[in-house]
């Protein structure tokens, strides 16, 4: 019996000293093949908003096609504040975009060929309310249009500002407490 126990112990000792040819990985954090990069967001990206202008008779080549074969084209807005806390809010950026559009009284946007259909109008932002995914924009003043093609242009310029924000899917524009569609239809356009 002693010989049998000695034989077993010897076998176990020899087996324990054996080498293996299988690869052994000491990679306990599993990061060998994973490439990571930090997410960086600049202040400009947090504060970013767009203003929308019209490319007349562009037929959708420069942006989304709207009535009269025009395009609505986004242009980067120019924040007038460095208050990143304010500009990171959708409501503040939306209000800033409307203010920038409505105070621009130049028909032509630089030398780009883009036009501001609202340049002759005297509109101001009274209030913007955001409720979940819906923005209600109340404007007051006088909307001045110059022909049948101005209705889709005005509608696109005013609605696209609100719809550029990821959390907004529906927008209601009121001018002097009247829905934009009604105001445009009263103008016979």
Band the pLDDT of 17: cuts 50, 70, 90.
very low
**pLDDT tens digits, one per residue of 91-108:** 989 999 999 999 999 999
28 inside domain: no
Contacting residues for 84 by C-beta, under 8 A, at least 6 apart: 43, 46, 47
114 inside domain: yes
**pLDDT tens digits, one per residue of 132-142:** 999 999 999 99
8 inside domain: no
Q: What is the pLDDT of residue 1?
A: 45
Sign of CA dihedral 167, 45, 62, 185: positive
Span of 19-33, 41-55, 62-76 with lowest mean pLDDT: 19-33
Q: What is the pLDDT of residue 124?
A: 97
pTM of the model: 0.74
26 inside domain: no
Q: What is the pLDDT of residue 48?
A: 85
Q: What residue numbers bound the domain in which 135 lies?
A: 43-186
Total tally of structural domains belonging to the chain: 1
33 inside domain: no
**The pLDDT of residue 143 is above 80:** yes
Read off the pLDDT of each residue in 69-90 and give the average, rounded to a whole number: 82
111 inside domain: yes
24 inside domain: no
55 inside domain: yes
């Amino acid at each position: 019996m002693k010989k049998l126990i000695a034989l077993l112990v010897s076998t176990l000792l020899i087996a324990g000293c054996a080498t293996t040819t299988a690869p052994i990985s000491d990679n306990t954090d599993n990061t060998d093949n994973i490439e990571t990069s930090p997410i960086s967001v600049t202040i400009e990206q947090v504060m970013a908003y767009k203003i929308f202008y019209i490319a007349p008779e562009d037929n959708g080549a420069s942006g989304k096609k709207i009535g009269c074969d025009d395009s609505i084209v986004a242009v980067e807005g120019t924040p007038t504040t460095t208050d990143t806390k304010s500009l990171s809010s959708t409501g503040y950026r939306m209000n800033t975009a409307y203010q920038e559009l409505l105070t621009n009284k130049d028909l032509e946007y630089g030398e780009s060929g883009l036009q501001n259909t609202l340049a002759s109008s005297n509109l101001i932002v009274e209030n913007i309310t955001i409720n979940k995914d819906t923005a209600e924009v109340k404007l007051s003043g006088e909307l001045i249009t110059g022909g049948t093609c101005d209705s889709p242009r005005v509608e696109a310029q005013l609605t696209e500002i609100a719809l550029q924000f990821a959390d907004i899917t529906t927008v209601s524009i009121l001018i002097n407490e009247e829905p934009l569609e009604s105001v445009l239809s009263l103008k016979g356009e």
